[in-house]
Amino acid sequence: MATAVRNSTLAFHAGHLRTNPRAGSALERVRNRTANIAILGLGHVGLPTALNFCEMGWQVLGADSSPEILEILRRGDVPFYERGLQELLTKHLGLKFHVVDDLGAAIRQATVLFICVGTPQRENGEANLSQVESVARSIASNLNDYKLVVGKSTVPAITAQWVRRTIQRYSHAHDNGAIEFVEPEFDVASSPEFLREGAALHDLLHPDRIVCGIESDVARDILQEIYKTTNAPILVTETSTAELIKHAANSFLSMKISFINMVADLCEAVGADVDKVADGIGMDPRIGPGFLKAGIGFGGYCFPKDLRAFIHLAEDYGLEFPLLREVININELRAESFLKKVRRALWVVQGKTIGVLGLAFKPGTDDTRESPSMRIVHALLEQGAILQLHDPKAIPNLRTNFPEREHEFVYCDDPYQAARRAHALLLLTDWPEYKSLDLDRIRNFMEVPVVVDGRNIFEPTSMENAGFEYYSIGR
């Protein structure tokens, strides 16, 4: 198994490109499409990535540590909602996509291994990399041939180098426990994923860019071969830079959102319109129009966690990042400032029936992790409101994890039911279907026609003309 021999002192990346004698035949197998790809971790990144590789013609082995996820997939169902994913699973399951119980088997049968496991946050904000380490150790004990190990999960800089170290350490121990270090044949790389939940398959098919952090020529050539059918520019860097690009991108995007949210407050104070301000500044190509939508703040599994992990990484190296702390602070105050609007509209919240449209952290997903809508829902319940909740996708999961409580909150099958006899209707997720609601019907259903729009879905004038008392953000 192991061929190259070198000193047991492990040096982190020293700027040179590595060579592996057996890597050449791996590259050949990738070029002629006989190599398999393994996706280790089948969550919101792993599963769409796996099925996208199937679409590109690869044979893909998918493994996950959760028996429930494997069971759901084996039945032919997707474990979470993502547009188009069910269709792709149905198309490829058992043909190009193989669900594998045994992580070791997936590793042994594949040449290119993508690590897509979760990197949740610890209480202090640091990324918990135990799942990454565990996969690296499994790789170490299943190195039957050259492997390219590619990190796709969002991780702090130098994780790839720790993955390399871990594989070296444990394959060494597994090999023969000898004192002399025997280097197994593999390369590590980092190719962070930039897909958005709710648009995952679109983003995989049409990426803006592909970042390949590599430390060998072969790793670069293999990744370029794999990605050559996407027309995106490929940026080749070393691994830590690639990892940092992902954290910096998510932090920058969150910063844009917190910035526009502060501007929204100022617009409200002076009577300006934040949507127009966003249009006006977004026309400057140096700023760009994206991620300037004011609202109740950002949520989801990525931005809040990645911001904290990035700050923690900086602090680990003795650097403060107060700018990003402020991005988080501003975001955390959004829910409270929205609740103030609700109180201003209703005066007394206790005992009022409130319809809530949108529970997922954004449209296109059933994910409610760190959803600002859920934060608002919990606060309103604490204040004694009676809630009628609607979301086009999130309710089936919520029914299990956050079951209905009589006289406190119910789930509704459609938005009109949520508006029935309500004293206010809150718009918390900008699902496209809410834009085309029959407003006359909504108004007729409501006890008092008050709408508080946390996503600026509607125009103030048309809502007033439609007979609503309408509140929105920064206008």
Which of 84-92, 192-200, 388-396, 411-419 is the region at the interface with ligand UGA (rule: CB under 6 A)? 192-200
CB-based contact 235:248 (threshold 8 Å):
no
- Under the binding rule (CB under 6 A), the answer on residue 352 touching ligand UGA is no
Considering only 144-152, 167-175, 187-195, 403-411, which stretch makes contact with ligand UGA by CB under 6 A? 187-195
Contact call for residue 193 and ligand UGA (CB under 6 A): yes
Query: Which x/- pattern over 258-297 shows residues binding ligand UGA (rule: CB under 6 A)?
Result: ---------------------------------xxx-x--
Nearer to ligand UGA, 193 or 391 (CB): 193
Selecting among 116, 267, 302, 412, the annotated active-site residue is 302
Q: Based on CB atoms, which residue is closest to ligand UGA, 49 or 166?
A: 49
CB of 196: closest distance to ligand UGA in angstroms? 4
* Separation in Å, CA 363 to CA 12, 81, 144, 296, 322: 42, 11, 43, 14, 30
98-127 positions binding ligand UGA, by CB under 6 A: none
Q: Could you give the CA distance from residue 129 to residue 412 in angstroms, rounded to a whole number?
A: 39
Q: Which of residues 398-437 bind ligand UGA (CB under 6 A)?
A: none
Q: If binding is defined by CB under 6 A, does position 393 make contact with ligand UGA?
A: no
Catalytic-residue membership of 267:
no
Cα atoms in the Cβ-side hemisphere of radius 13 Å centred on 5: 4
Q: How far is the CB of 397 from ligand UGA (least distance, A)?
A: 17
Work out whether 366 is an interface residue with ligand UGA (CB under 6 A): no
Residue among 109 and 237 whose Cβ is closer to ligand UGA = 237
CB of 122 to ligand UGA, least distance (A): 18
Q: Which is nearer to ligand UGA, 208 or 406 (CB)?
A: 208
Does residue number 80 form part of the binding site for ligand UGA (CB under 6 A)? no
Residue 216 or residue 365: which is nearer to ligand UGA going by CB? Answer: 365
- Residue among 184 and 364 whose Cβ is closer to ligand UGA: 364
What residues from 141 to 170 belong to the interface with ligand UGA (CB under 6 A)? 154
Q: Which stretch binds ligand UGA (CB under 6 A): 176-184, 221-229, 302-310, 414-422?
A: 302-310
> Which listed residue (145, 183, 185, 197) binds ligand UGA by CB under 6 A?
197
Residue 298 as a binder of ligand UGA (CB under 6 A): the answer is: yes
Nearer to ligand UGA by Cβ, of 18 and 305: the residue is 305
The yes or no reply on residue 194 touching ligand UGA (CB under 6 A) is yes
Active site residues: 302
* Residues near ligand UGA (CB under 6 A): 154, 193-197, 250, 253, 257, 291-293, 295, 298-300, 302-303, 306, 361-362
